[in-house]
Amino acid sequence: MKGIKNDTGKNRVDLIPVDYIEKLGLCLTYGASKYGANNWQGLDKGKDRYYGALLRHAISYRKGKIIDEESGLHPLHQMAINCMFLFHFEDDEKYKEELNKWIKNNPKKSEWIKKLQS
């Protein structure tokens, strides 16, 4: 008997390299050891503060640093985790509204994303 799996048009999270997921996990593990698990989610003015942290890590990387002096983490990994934090603080409803406008105005470009939404 042949198996059937109806996953056509689904979000392909399996395309994210495992080592990348592990490196993001290292960033979160370091943060949890320093501040407590998931402490980042409740940070006051989190969007502004994580944007600032993202920029500091980007500047560090542009200056040629590939190891953070305090944590030993790569600045690009820290930038990626700060982007994740920024997504957390982003207004999801506003994003959905803007995305729907974009889909409406870009029918050919948006075919791939419409498949994922159904």
Distance CA 80, CA 68 (A): 14
Asked whether residue 47 carries a pLDDT value surpassing 80, the answer given is yes
* % of residues, the chain, pLDDT over 90: 73
What pTM did the predictor assign? 0.81
What pLDDT sits at residue 22? 96
Find out whether 31 and 39 touch, Cβ atoms under 8 Å. yes
Size (the chain), residues:
118
**CB contact at 8 A, 54 and 86:** yes
In this structure, are residues 39 and 67 in contact, taking their beta carbons and an 8 Å threshold? Answer: no
118 has pLDDT over 80: no
Reference 31, options 67, 63, 69, 70; nearest CA is 70
Position 110 scores a pLDDT of 86
